[in-house]
A and B are shown apart, each in its own frame.
Chain A
Amino acid sequence: MIERTPILNAVTHTILGVGLLVMCFPLVIAFVAATLPYEAVIDVPMTLIPGGQLLENAVKAWERGEFATQGVNSVIMTLGILFGKIACASLTAFAICYFNFRFRMLAFWLIFITLMLPLEVRIVPTYEVAGNALLPLQQLLDVLWLTDLVAWLSGVEIALEWNLLDTYWGLTLPLFASATATFLFRQFFLTIPEELAEAAKMDGAGPLRFFFQILLPLSKTNIAALSVIMFVFGWNQYLWPLLITTDPEMRTLVMGLENLIPSEDELPEWNVAMAGTLMVMLPPIVVVLVLQRWFVRGLLGGEK
């Protein structure tokens, strides 16, 4: 809209400004606290002028929070979720858009409905399955009396077990399925002219070749946009890693932050805690800043 309305402009700018302040103030506090020595951070009220202790605090946080191990875990988990989701979603959308099978629309709607079932809602059954990823299969066999049949025929008891607890698979696999990503891919695939698929067919390309050599290259911007969302999503996972890992070696950064928060009988070293927080926040911010051009383009669905 192009209008000349100075008063309205002032009002909107004020609202923007207030919003910015509300958003940024906690960050500013965290940053200032992270730069202060211990004596300054426990002052009430705390000063808002940054000190010069940032590096020292960061190093302390790094060591105390075991960021080296946890950082590796976080990166593995985030990238695992990222690639898993994109692979899963693009293949699902490919199946739904390009293959004419029975119950296709039913499949689509079932996937779509899971949008309303985030991990938190199904966390208990998911945990049970993660305890033994082959449990559903085992139950199916049990229901069909196949376990008994095999036991009777061969004397071998079928007991399938694949424990995901305290593994990278456990951290990532249950988060692979993504209705949002599937839906985004589907919407994108629908904009690709049918002639392309037909031309590929005439050229002798099979479905997989079409998918990898034509669909995926065309989805580049789309994938970039999704990666940004999924990276932030994966990095920020807290509840699920907390539940599925007990081994300290498997903890992630976001969980590790909890270690830095001073408990009752420790020195309240908030400066160290805040320095740690800043470090944990950094990777998603960098990813968003670097990829934001792609992000916007991908969501708008524009080709250059």
Chain B
Amino acid sequence: MANVSMRQVRKSFGATEVIHGIDIEIGDGEFAVIVGPSGCGKSTLLRMIAGLEAVTAGEVAIGDRVVNDLEPKERDVAMVFQNYGLYPHMTAFQNISYALRIARRSKAEIRERVERVARILGIEDLLARKPSQLSGGQRQRVAMGRAIIREPDVFLFDEPLSNLDAKLRSQMRVEIKRLHDELKATSIFVTHDQVEAMTMADRLVVMNQGVIEQTGTPRQVYRRPGSTYVAGFIGAPAMNLLPATLSDDGAAVEGRGMGRIALPNGAGPDRSGRRVMLGVRPEHLAVVADGSGGLLAARLLYAEDLGASRLLHCAVGEDELIVHTQDETGDRPGDTLRLAADPANLHLFDAESGRRLEAVDGG
């Protein structure tokens, strides 16, 4: 068991720097999810912890050991790969036991440990099969078995679910989480899927272009996204962002196609006239009856019926926004809808930097 910390970690490939100085502290036993779009450096970060990629500058520590110059096998970490990385010519049993066989453990111990791991993962019947005779989900389990059997300090997962179909993926999500509760080992999970990130993380790390945009619990990140980038990335459908301007007294915003919207806390007069982005999540918008006030008027473009709820795609001036509602009124495209939201659920971001304006924090 160990915590993982990275201090001012940088990574360059040739002249291009892909990781620009990252600081993370992941606590012992924590399940951290690093999420970001492809190419943001999240896998590189993971591979630096694993020791598969050299650290250009900064420090990576596991427990109280700085591991920058240690070989992967000396770091006491195990990794589950995106394409499983199973040895095709070995059976599941041989795959899982390979690390132990290298470490020259006794036959009896190996057999006992493999069987225990197989029982945890429910793959007792598959041990004699080769990877080519296993389905995607089964291969995934064998790959996890190979990691678990070493009883490492830290588990690293590199997008392990991205090759599974949707149903299996949600099933494995729960299983990995359950496993973590059982084993209590520090885990770092890399994904580009924000649903995986939200559901699995104790701690969410949102990355973009080689820097960390925000860290926090999934709830914190969802409730108070630190930037327009995070706001758009976490939550599906994405948060609506409308350009607006702070009023002179800083207590309200005005924008194209919407009236004056009062802010509960105000932004202070020193920010008056500033260009901002007004953010509101689709699920926080509600359709209200005509004439009962509301936030703004929007023209319905089309509605998607998801069964349990509906997504209303609307236009406000030239901007589009989405309303996620359980309301089943029979509105038709072209109708004008009055939309309302609790002011507490409004977010303000600086239009230039994209950072959250904390003074008007509603959440």
Contact = CB atoms under 8 A, between A and B. Distances in A.
Interface of A: 193, 195-196, 198-205, 209, 214, 217-218, 303-304
A202 B87 contact: no
A209 B102 contact: yes
A203 B103 CA distance: 9
Nearest to B152: A202
User: Of residues A199, A200, A202, A218, which shows the largest number of chain B Cβ atoms within 10 Å of its Cβ?
Assistant: A202
A198 B99 contact: no
B72 A202 contact: yes
Contact of A205 (B50, B102, B132, B146): B102
A109 B194 CA distance: 46
Given A217-B89, A218-B88, A202 B98 contact: no
A195 B83 contact: yes
Contacts of B77: 202
Secondary structure of the B contact surface, majority rule: loop
Nearest to A203: B99
Interface of B: 50-52, 71-73, 77-79, 81-89, 98-99, 102-103, 132, 146, 150
Contacts of A193: 83, 85
30 contacts: A193-B85, A195-B81, A195-B82, A198-B50, A198-B79, A198-B81, A199-B79, A199-B85, A200-B87, A200-B98, A201-B51, A201-B52, A201-B71, A202-B52, A202-B73, A202-B77, A202-B78, A202-B79, A203-B73, A203-B98, A203-B102, A204-B72, A204-B102, A204-B103, A205-B98, A205-B102, A214-B89, A218-B88, A303-B88, A304-B132
A198 B150 CA distance: 16
Contacts of B78: 202
A200 B150 CA distance: 13
Contact of B87 (A199, A201, A204, A303): A199
Contacts of B50: 198, 202
Secondary structure of the A contact surface, majority rule: helix
A198 B85 contact: yes
Contacts of B98: 200, 203, 205
Given A198-B52, A218-B89, A204 B83 contact: no
A196 B73 contact: no
Nearest to A303: B88
Contacts of A218: 88-89
Nearest to A199: B85
User: Of residues A199, A217, A218, A304, which shows the largest number of chain B Cβ atoms within 10 Å of its Cβ?
Assistant: A199
